[in-house]
């Protein structure tokens, strides 16, 4: 294969498979299947004429498989996979995580700074409150038919954007997501973070997680010195 055009990224392309937000995000909503082709270049050509293509995954060994990736935020991660090639096409848009966090330019010692994080690694984890058995329906708002974790995060971000005060009772403090249940089960957690006034210990809204196959748990919270004082 010759040198690719400048708008194709070859970074870590060989023996890698494409993923979405993180390495275990392999939703089939992220891509459409192209026509089987005998070369990588022909798969690339299909991408170039697709209006929403952000990259491709191709394997000549596995049935000349050509995935045309259409995830709006691009290919966010890759995993090692023999006989596969993952290529990014053009510059992906910023992800919901990027929109949610204030950015590295913010001085978290002086103003509120929030960020997303995977709870206990995120993968195969269900969100919980104060401990691993603390799971109340009142802790979250359930959204069904949410096709991807990107869409679930966007729901949480939109809730926070609509909150105009620091004492808002519907601010989202995290999400739990499973792609198969309810055509995409998204729990937008509204359990508020708490600071123990006697000990000064900060407890996140999503304070713990439990092992649960296929689930993802993510937390959205203040970081830095603000975490001790902010309730949202």
Domains and CATH numbers, the chain: 8-89 (3.50.4.10), 96-229 (no CATH)
pTM: 0.75
SS (H, E, C) the chain: CCCCCCCEECCCCEEEEEECCCCCCCCHHHEEECCCCCCHHHHHHHHHHCCCCCEEEEECCCCCEEEEECCCCCCCEEEEEEEEEEEEECCCCCCHHHHHCCCCCCCCCCCCCEEEEEEEEEEEEEEECCCCCCCCHHHEEEECCCCCHHHHHHHHHHHHHHCCCCCCCCCCCEEEEECCHHHCEEEEECCCCEECCCCCCEECCCCEEEEEEEEEEEEEEECCCHHHHCCC
- State residue 81's pLDDT score: 96
User: How do the pLDDT tens digits run along the chain, 232 residues long?
Assistant: 454 454 788 666 889 999 998 888 999 999 999 987 779 999 999 999 998 999 999 999 988 999 999 998 889 889 999 999 999 997 555 555 554 444 333 334 445 567 788 999 999 999 999 999 999 999 999 999 999 999 999 899 888 877 755 556 578 999 999 998 989 999 999 998 777 777 776 777 899 999 999 999 999 877 654 444 443 3
């Amino acid at each position: 294969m010759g040198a690719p055009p400048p708008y194709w990224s070859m970074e870590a392309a060989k023996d890698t498979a494409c993923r979405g937000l993180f390495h275990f995000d392999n939703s089939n909503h992220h891509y459409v299947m192209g026509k089987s082709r005998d070369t990588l270049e022909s798969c690339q050509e299909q991408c170039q004429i697709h209006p929403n293509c952000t990259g491709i995954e191709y394997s000549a060994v596995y049935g000349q498989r050509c995935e045309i990736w259409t995830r709006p935020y691009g290919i966010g991660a890759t995993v090692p996979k023999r006989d596969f090639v993952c290529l990014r096409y053009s510059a992906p848009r910023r992800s919901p995580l990027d929109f949610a966090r204030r950015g590295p330019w913010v001085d978290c010692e002086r103003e509120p700074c929030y960020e997303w994080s995977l709870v206990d690694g995120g993968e195969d984890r269900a969100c919980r409150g104060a401990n691993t058995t603390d799971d109340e329906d009142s802790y979250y708002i359930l959204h069904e038919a949410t096709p991807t974790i990107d869409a679930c995060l966007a729901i949480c971000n939109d809730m926070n954007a609509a909150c105009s005060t620091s004492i808002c009772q519907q601010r989202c403090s995290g999400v739990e997501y499973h792609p198969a249940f309810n055509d995409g089960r998204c729990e937008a957690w509204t359990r508020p973070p708490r600071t123990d006034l006697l000990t000064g210990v900060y407890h996140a809204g999503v304070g713990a997680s439990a092992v649960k196959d296929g689930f993802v748990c993510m937390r959205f919270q203040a970081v830095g010195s603000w975490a001790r004082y902010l309730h949202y």
